[in-house]
Amino acid sequence: MSLPGNLLTTAMGVMPHKDIDRAMEMALSMDIPFWPQLPLVNYYEDMYVQASEHFPGILLDLEARTLKFSHEKFGAELEEVLARYEDPEYFDISPAYSVVYHRFLEMDLSDRPAIRGQLEGPISFGFNVVDERGRPILFDDTVRPFLMEFMAKRANVQLARLKERNGNAFMFIDEPGLQFLFSAMSGYGDVAAKEEMEFFFSQIERPRGVHLCGNPDWDFLLTMDIDVLSLDTYSNAEVFAAYAPSIKRYLKKGGALVWGIVPTNAEPFGNEDIDSLERRLTDLWDLLGQRGVDREEMLANSMLSPATCCLVNPDGTATVERAFACVRELSMRLREAYKMP
């Protein structure tokens, strides 16, 4: 098993499409395809809801589109979950929670350089899901350790299913909530989170990595035992470049980077073109090179993607689809410029 590089293309999972066939077509247009998460199709396709399946204590309201937690329900359901703890199928995403995932698994994807899955991570899930008092379950010292183990099991079963379709499959753990760990208001410190996230990743088979669109303490992630890091380069390039020594060490140990360079929001996308985006990326790479990061090594372990997901553009799916096309064009241009194999 090996991670792809050489500026091949992929994208994050969440897409604004209501047409499943069209979303699949877009996902398959990337070198490294993935199964789309389509919350506008129905609430089951929401990334937090998909991660919540079989988690004890969950209160899911499909009409109100809310996901909450009950301690009483947690206690009542925990025994059943523990009784199924060694049953991989129990931790997979069922067809009810994602039609798209199961359609993806029916495809012959063996000729691709890799394929990719994703699961909402425990930090973000724990921040987003609140209990009866409106308190995030991440702050609950009883629930949180179980949450870490539960999500690791969910990641492993998905990765195993994907590897049946392509031996180079890998996983993104989506963690937009990581940026809030470094706020004094978070209620859950980065030191504790580092220890628990290291434990979380130690339970997940390789290749494993993190995707996030925010701006955390990058040292937190670059020093973690992960194989791939996907980031919003478009918004965070200058800050990320400040961590050049950590980036250099991360690459030396074999880590891969996914540069999210093409915006999917209509306004910033409309302010850019392929030339300006190429300049943004190459200027960043030039800066990292000046700070000691070996460009050849970096590009050999790099992929390209859109900068973020976007569900709220006034033109529906049009800008997102144009962004996907732009990523593909930019990849071809840069691969030719750098004589990538």
pLDDT in tens, 191-240: 888 899 999 999 999 999 999 988 888 999 999 999 999 999 999 999 99
| Residue 322 pLDDT | 98
Other C-beta atoms within 10 Å of 219: how many? 15
**What tokens appear for 42 in the block?**
């129905």
Instruction: Give this prediction's pTM.
Output: 0.95
Residue 1 inside a domain? The answer is: no
**Burial (CB count within 10 angstroms: exposed 0-12, middle 13-18, buried 19+), residue 252:** exposed
Is 3 a member of any domain?
Answer: no
Asked if residue 23 belongs to a domain, the reply is yes
- Residue 75: which of 152, 150, 146 has the closest Cα? 146
Residue closest to 140 by CA, chosen among 66, 69, 203: 69
Residue in the block written with tokens 């209160």:
59
- Measured in residues, the chain has a length of 341
| Cα angle value 182/227/192 (rounded, 5°) | 30
* Residues 314-331 pLDDT 10s: 999 999 999 999 999 999
- Indicate the number of domains in the chain: 1
The CATH number covering residue 267 comes to 3.20.20
Which structural domain, as residue segments, surrounds residue 120? 8-337
Work out the pLDDT band at 1, boundaries 50, 70, 90. Answer: low
* Candidate from 180-194, 253-267, 326-340 with smallest mean pLDDT: 180-194
